[in-house]
């Protein structure tokens, strides 16, 4: 079989006519599928429903230490919830604060506090002439939205299979004191599904930033989100690596149970140095009287320990795995021989990253929408929503059923072919 690049113009014209007929047939199916965000499907939410039975009107609402979860207090979170989240991140409990329902909220607050009040006594970022952030890309659009919201200049750093380009990061961070942070999704990265190598983590921990208030924003969102029991990615724990390198305060690590229990109804946490925690708590005492301890107690009693979370995540994997495999099977069968695209094959997380021919991503997403399949906007995985080569598309397989995913993937592959042929005929 010829690849599209090998075809003559006449062959491409014939192929285009065939694909256009198939596209019209696909539109006639009246598909209405949404693959725009990493949203849990109802069956994933169903597996946590019995957590709502853990507490009721006759329950003892006190922690093991005797704190009444119905009342004020407990700014750092109840000990049982702190221990649970600490074990999830493989860090000591004293390095963890448990917040409300969303890690995104903690990240926003952390950037906001740095803007208005600085980092552990440093000059507030809003009083500086220039503030910059490094943004590994393709990356998480909501990260980029936060820094853009605060007017922080974003610098794109290319991603590799081992993590971000560390040569570039070291050179920039160690020379430019206006660079104050970097966004990272270190395990099953969004959208590529890559996990940072041990060498990458150690190089992060050993950075020598020109800015004393430089911080690594380590969003460990998919720390327990493995798809395969026998093929789990391993991520080196960064807080302890920073301590070894003498950079105790350099990392803010975030996680939540948003995709473990209930999206929007879980608990979120930050892990960082004790120095950072003391500084953060000064703001928290003004900002809040404490987060929802009843929900923290509910989670702690439901899971009991990290083994409870791991057993629960196997149920999620059983639901998610067939959807990923349905997409990858279609992409392999429909596109592999044409040599017009590439895509990742993640072992966990929530996304598949697709690289189209240069200049095609926006047109592919538009074609999909025309036929009833909504994707993440092309360019969203880059700072300012601008993919310089217009190649990257994020595929989110979680919400549709495996059968729907297969249909959506076939339509997607068809749109890739059609747009690519049009580009080659250009």
pLDDT at position 37: 85
Please name which of 203, 196, 248 lies closest in space to residue 219, comparing C-alpha atoms: 196
Mean pLDDT of 369-384: 95
Tokens describing residue 161:
């299979």
Domain regions of the chain by residue span: 4-44+310-425, 61-304
Please, which pLDDT band fits residue 375 given cuts at 50, 70 and 90?
very high
- Across the chain, mean pLDDT equals 97
Cα–Cα distance for residue pair 38/42, rounded to 1 Å: 13
φ and ψ of 332, to 5 deg: -65, -45
Residue 286 has pLDDT above 90, yes or no: yes
Please, which pLDDT band fits residue 136 given cuts at 50, 70 and 90?
very high
Helix (H) or strand (E) holding 218: strand 215-219
pLDDT at position 40: 95
Residue 1 has pLDDT above 80, yes or no: no
Which whole-number Å values give the CA distances from 271 to 99, 180, 196, in the listed order? 11, 19, 18
Which whole-number Å values give the CA distances from 77 to 185, 259, 283, 292, 408, in the listed order? 24, 20, 15, 8, 42
Residue 125 has pLDDT above 90, yes or no: yes
Please name which of 349, 301, 304, 307 lies closest in space to residue 324, comparing C-alpha atoms: 349
| CATH T-level topology, domain 61-304 | 3.40.640
Mean pLDDT of 109-117: 98
Cα–Cα distance for residue pair 393/397, rounded to 1 Å: 13
pLDDT at position 390: 98
Residue pLDDT, tens place only, 297-315: 999 999 999 999 999 999 9
Residue 36 has pLDDT above 90, yes or no: no
pLDDT at position 35: 83
Mean pLDDT of 19-46: 93
Contact, 247 vs 205, CB < 8 A?
Answer: yes
Helix 141-149 / helix 103-117 crossing angle, nearest 10 deg: 30
Please name which of 196, 234, 242, 193 lies closest in space to residue 216, comparing C-alpha atoms: 242
Please identify which residue in the block is written with the tokens 């990615």: 233
Helix 402-425 / helix 361-370 crossing angle, nearest 10 deg: 130
Please, which pLDDT band fits residue 31 given cuts at 50, 70 and 90?
confident
| CATH T-level topology, domain 4-44+310-425 | 3.90.1150
Which whole-number Å values give the CA distances from 137 to 23, 161, 165, 187, 239, in the listed order? 31, 12, 10, 15, 23
State percent of the chain over pLDDT 90: 96
Residue 118 has pLDDT above 90, yes or no: yes
Mean pLDDT of 384-411: 94
Mean pLDDT of 198-217: 98
Residue pLDDT, tens place only, 179-205: 999 999 999 999 999 999 999 999 999
Distance in angstroms between the alpha carbons of the first and the last residue of the chain: 22
Mean pLDDT of 273-295: 96
Mean pLDDT of 250-269: 97
């Amino acid at each position: 079989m010829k690849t599209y690049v090998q075809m003559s113009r006449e062959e491409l014209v014939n192929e285009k006519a065939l694909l256009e007929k198939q596209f019209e047939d696909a539109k006639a199916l009246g598909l209405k599928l949404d693959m725009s965000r990493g949203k849990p499907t109802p069956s994933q939410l169903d597996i946590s429903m019995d957590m709502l039975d853990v507490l009721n009107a006759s329950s003892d609402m006190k922690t093991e230490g005797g704190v009444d979860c119905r009342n004020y207090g407990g700014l750092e979170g109840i000990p049982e919830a702190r221990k649970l989240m600490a074990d999830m991140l493989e860090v000591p409990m004293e390095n963890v604060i448990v917040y409300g329902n969303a890690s995104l909220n903690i990240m926003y607050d952390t950037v906001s506090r740095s803007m208005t009040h600085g980092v552990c006594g440093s000059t507030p970022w809003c009083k500086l002439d220039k503030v910059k952030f490094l943004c590994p890309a393709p990356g998480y659009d909501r990260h980029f939205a936060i820094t853009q919201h605060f007017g922080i200049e974003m610098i794109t750093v290319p991603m590799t299979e081992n993590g971000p380009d560390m040569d570039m990061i070291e050179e920039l961070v160690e020379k430019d004191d206006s660079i104050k942070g970097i966004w990272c999704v270190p395990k099953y990265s969004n959208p590529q599904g890559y996990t940072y190598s041990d060498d990458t983590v150690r190089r992060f921990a050993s950075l020598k930033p020109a800015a004393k208030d430089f911080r690594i924003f380590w969003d460990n969102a998919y720390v327990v989100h493995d798809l395969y029991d026998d093929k789990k990615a391993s991520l080196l724990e960064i807080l302890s690596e920073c301590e070894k390198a003498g950079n105790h305060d350099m990392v803010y690590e975030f996680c939540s149970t948003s995709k473990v229990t209930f999206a929007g109804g879980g608990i979120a946490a930050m892990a960082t140095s004790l120095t950072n925690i003391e500084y953060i708590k000064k703001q928290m005492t003004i900002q809040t009287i404490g987060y929802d301890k009843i929900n923290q107690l509910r989670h702690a009693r439901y899971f009991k320990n990290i083994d409870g979370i791991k057993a629960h995540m196997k149920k999620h994997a059983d639901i998610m795995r067939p959807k990923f495999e349905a997409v990858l099977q279609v992409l392999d069968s429909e596109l592999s021989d044409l040599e017009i695209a590439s895509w990742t094959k993640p072992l966990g997380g929530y996304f598949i990253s697709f690289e189209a021919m240069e200049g095609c991503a926006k047109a592919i997403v538009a074609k999909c929408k025309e036929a009833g399949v909504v994707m993440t906007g092309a360019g969203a995985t880059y700072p300012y929503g601008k993919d310089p080569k217009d190649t990257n598309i994020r595929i989110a397989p979680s919400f549709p059923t495996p059968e729907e995913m297969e249909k959506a993937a076939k339509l997607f592959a068809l749109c890739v072919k059609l747009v690519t042929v049009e580009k080659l005929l250009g």
